[in-house]
Structure 1
Amino acid sequence: MYKIAVVGDYDSIYGFATLGLDTFPVADRKEAEEKIEALASQEYGIIYITEALAAECKNVIEKYQERILPAIIQIPGVSGNTGDGVQGVKNSVEQAVGSDILFSNN
């Protein structure tokens, strides 16, 4: 069975531990990139990462976008929602479905 990890600043991710998820607080981009690489090589099927940190680690995240596992999903942090996480999910759905499911003809 695959595990779920959450990577980001401590204040943004500590609550996820109460849900049984493995949390990995990191202090900077270098530490985050190393942690993502390490988690991807282990049995983690999903890696949640704060949007602010994901913006700094784009090269590492892009490396895993075309792979089935792990799924790297952006989540808002305590600093707020940038919209990048929602846009990433929307892009993935568009790619899978073949069209923009939020498009309206009204």
Structure 2
Amino acid sequence: MYKIAVLGDRDSVYGFAAVGLDTFFASEPEYAAKKLRELAGGDYAVIYVTESLWAGLDHEIERYRQQPLPAILPIPGASGNTGIGITQVRRSVEQAVGSDIIFGGDT
């Protein structure tokens, strides 16, 4: 059975444990990259990464982009939304259908 992980700073991911998700605390990109590789090699189908941490993990996340599992998705952290999540949604849609149908190029 696949599991769901949440990776990010303690304040941002702590509450996810209450709904049964596995939480992993990381604030340094170097440690987070190592932890992400570990999680991706395990039984995790979905790995949520806080947006603030995501920015330092672009290269690491890219290596899993073409694989069906795990799905690695950005989520806002306790410090707020940085816009990385919506950018990733747009990128995924463009890759899937060949054009930006969500925003129509207006933004």
Match of 2:74 in 1: 74
Number of residue-to-residue matches in the alignment: 105
TM-score by length of 2: 0.90
For the pair 1:88 / 2:88, whether they are aligned, the reply is yes
Runs of 4+ in 1 over 6 A off after TM superposition: none
State the Cα deviation string for residues 21-72 of structure 1 (Å, max 9, x = none): 1000113111101110000000101100001101011111111111111111
For the pair 1:16 / 2:16, whether they are aligned, the reply is yes
Query: Secondary structure of 1:54's match?
Result: helix
TM-score by length of 1: 0.91
Identity of matched residues, %: 54
The answer for unaligned runs of 5 or more in structure 1 is none
Aligned 8 A contact 2:9 2:25 in 1: yes
The answer for unaligned runs of 5 or more in structure 2 is none
C-alpha distance in 2 between matches for 1:50 and 1:30: 15
Q: CA RMSD in A?
A: 1.5
Q: CA deviation at 1:104?
A: 7.5
C-alpha distance in 2 between matches for 1:104 and 1:98: 13
Match of 2:28 in 1: 28
